[in-house]
Chains A and B, each alone.
Chain A
């Protein structure tokens, strides 16, 4: 069972470069999320999606874009990378079910912008 798969695991970007963090889940979950975790901090929500074609902003959306063309995939795009985007990025998914089901997390992507 793959669960939530994130690629790549690590990436170093130069300031101003762009990249896409990939996230795929095979659990047929409607809800998908992107969080970032800065060193020593909790997780902050960047974007989330409640189904294909529907996305919404979280707490810290600036500098990022998302799309959800299929139930399985939820890529996160960084345009014009900045040092402030150095972080660990986690993708997660869950079933709707009124909010009571836990999120399943991928193993994270560690991004450094220099």
Chain B
């Protein structure tokens, strides 16, 4: 069975602070894919990044970075110099090779205070 755990239910920081959202996953597949989605207050789900299991390079996109570590089954997401517009619920998700289903974590509600 596949499982995604986001232990941080809610995080609140002051603008310009760095913040890391944790994601731990479980799977028996040797090939799998990890995703992060953002859900802003307007409610839609916005795809942020995909990572496959055989590429452990960290990725940076502007103020966003992702740290994938197979040894600890983690795929953490860091926002540097946070901004109020980063306030949202963030979901980590997992999909096995050839699998049709995407399994989501519970989500982390991030609030950036001015």
Contacts and interface: CB of A to CB of B under 8 A. Distances in A.
Interface of A: 31, 33, 35, 40-45, 48, 50, 56, 58, 88, 90, 92, 98-105, 107-108
Contact of B100 (A44, A50, A102): A50
A88 B91 contact: no
Given A42-B91, A100-B50, A108 B100 contact: no
Given A31-B100, A99-B33, A103-B102, A108 B43 contact: yes
B100 A105 contact: no
Nearest to A104: B47
A35 B91 CA distance: 14
A95 B56 CA distance: 24
Interface residues of B, number: 26
B43 A102 contact: no
B35 interface: yes
B106 interface: yes
B28 to A, nearest CB: 14
A88 B43 contact: yes
B34 to A, nearest CB: 10
Nearest to A90: B45
Contact of B105 (A42, A102, A105): A42
Given A43-B104, A45-B102, A92-B45, 20 more contacts: A31-B100, A40-B109, A41-B106, A41-B107, A42-B6, A43-B91, A44-B104, A45-B101, A45-B103, A88-B43, A98-B97, A98-B98, A99-B96, A99-B99, A100-B52, A100-B95, A102-B47, A102-B50, A103-B47, A107-B43
Contacts of B6: 42
